[in-house]
Amino acid sequence: MTESINTKIFPKDFLWGASASAFQIEGRYENDGKGLATTDLATRKSGMADTDTAADFVNHYKEDITLMKEMGLKIYRMGFSWSRIMPDETMNPNPEGLAFYDKVIDALLAAGIEPFVTLYHFECPQALVEAFGGWKSRKMIDHYTAYAKICFTHFKGRVKKWATVNEQLIAASAPDLNGNFEKDPHLFQKNIWQMHWHISVAEHKAFALLKKIDPQAVIGPVCSIQVVYPLTCSPADVEAAAHAEELMEFSLLDLSARGKWSPYVVHYLKSHDLYPTCDESDAEVMASRPDFIGVNYYFSICAKEKTGPVNYNLPPFWVSDAYDIAGNPYLEKTEWMNMGIDPDGLKNGIEKIILRYSLPVIVTENGMAASEKIGKDGKVHDDYRISYLSQHIEKIAELLEEGWPVKGYCPWSFIDVISSHQGFAKRYGFVYIDREEKDLKEGKRIRKDSFGWYRNLIKECLEGK
């Protein structure tokens, strides 16, 4: 399926990669000093596979990195677990945690693979939630800054690409990830916007800090882009879609890239008594700027004119009196991709981001979820994943041909990862992890068909130069 992709358009320095997060693959050492994270508690509550073992990367990292090298990856977008490096309220680093990441980073570099590290990928240290409420408190800004300083200093010269926060929209919205279990629906939403502000201030402090510690390194946010189409050409639906994108995506990217909200967002938050408490010093902090924007994209959505009362049972970022979210009747849907498959949405979304912020983009997540089992032949045949990725890579090629600055592509995920609420029932990887929800087996790594396809695509793109 590489025939339809213009492989010659990809520059020699294009960053072909793959992604994963810490909590979804690592597992835990015995007596390794790692503190509990919110994600540890969340997966335990799910009754499915949890973070205690996950994909057991802590014991298989050498094997996994060997597979990355075999695939031809140029970059690996990974995560650090905050609570593994800084496990409690003292802000003292955990030597065992740093030593583990030393081994991973050094192994990647020895394999010729560039590490691209996300500092915060949903894993809020549970100790900080219990001590002062996590991101609801300004104290969290100092803790995140201390954590970032430890990482930037310790890995200086070895890690040259950093992501500050993965999918802030989700990180601040999901109670299991941040400890915001407020029952009053208005206060719940108010807490979310207060957390957004604290996260953004912390992020900007990290931008500035990295430039002091390692001026050669680059840093940026990773956004779950919300590509929102109007359900119809009704002006009311068009306006609803614009407002949905503004509130769910651009409000957060505006904070990251511009340091302030648009007039519409300011008006919306103030008129709904959601505007957060800020400090006078924040304006100066928010003047720092990122070097790029990471884009996570899986599907698009539709919005229509708001009718009826606000439904507080929806995902928190869909709760609004400015729009209603709707399905798209024109898209193919699957078991886990129930909003539909839309490669054009990736291109549309990236174009909007680059036009608005004049920053280069790296695709940091893009993937196809499926329920998978090993076949009778001992293999996993995932043509559907190859089709999904191929269609989206075609759009990256179109963007490059038109001159848009897209610097890399890191699909989700290199190996199968646990999902917070679906365990190993929902799989994304190029590499199958042979374990069930409760039966850990040996965690054998099995290359899916997509592994060989992606390896050949990377080789073809590089040899075409």
Q: Name the 3-class secondary structure at 35.
A: coil
pLDDT digit string (tens) for 104-157?
A: 999 999 999 999 999 999 999 999 999 999 999 999 999 999 999 999 999 999
DSSP state of 332: B
Q: Active-site residue 365, yes or no?
A: yes
Model pLDDT for residues 173-221, shown as the tens digit of each residue: 999 999 999 999 999 999 999 999 999 999 999 999 999 999 999 999 9
Percent of the chain with pLDDT over 70: 98
The Cα–Cα gap between 63 and 168 comes to 32
Residue 46 has pLDDT above 80, yes or no: no
Claim: this prediction has a pTM higher than 0.85:
yes
- Out of 26, 203, 305, 365, which one is annotated catalytic? 365
Provide the pLDDT for residue 267.
97
Catalytically annotated residue among 123, 167, 245, 305: 167
DSSP alpha helices (H): ranges in 8-113? 38-46, 57-71, 82-85, 95-110
> Is pLDDT above 90 for 28?
no
What pLDDT does 51 receive? 85
pLDDT at 49 over 90: no
Per-residue confidence (pLDDT) for residue 437, from 0 to 100: 85
Q: What is the DSSP letter of 428?
A: -
Q: Is 305 a catalytic residue?
A: no
pLDDT at 271 over 90: yes
The rounded Cα 304 to chain-centroid distance in angstroms is 27
Mean pLDDT of 425-444: 91
The residues, ordered by sequence, that sit 6+ positions from 376 with a Cβ below 8 Å of its Cβ are none
pLDDT value of residue 439: 84
Give the pLDDT confidence score for residue 422 in this predicted structure. 84
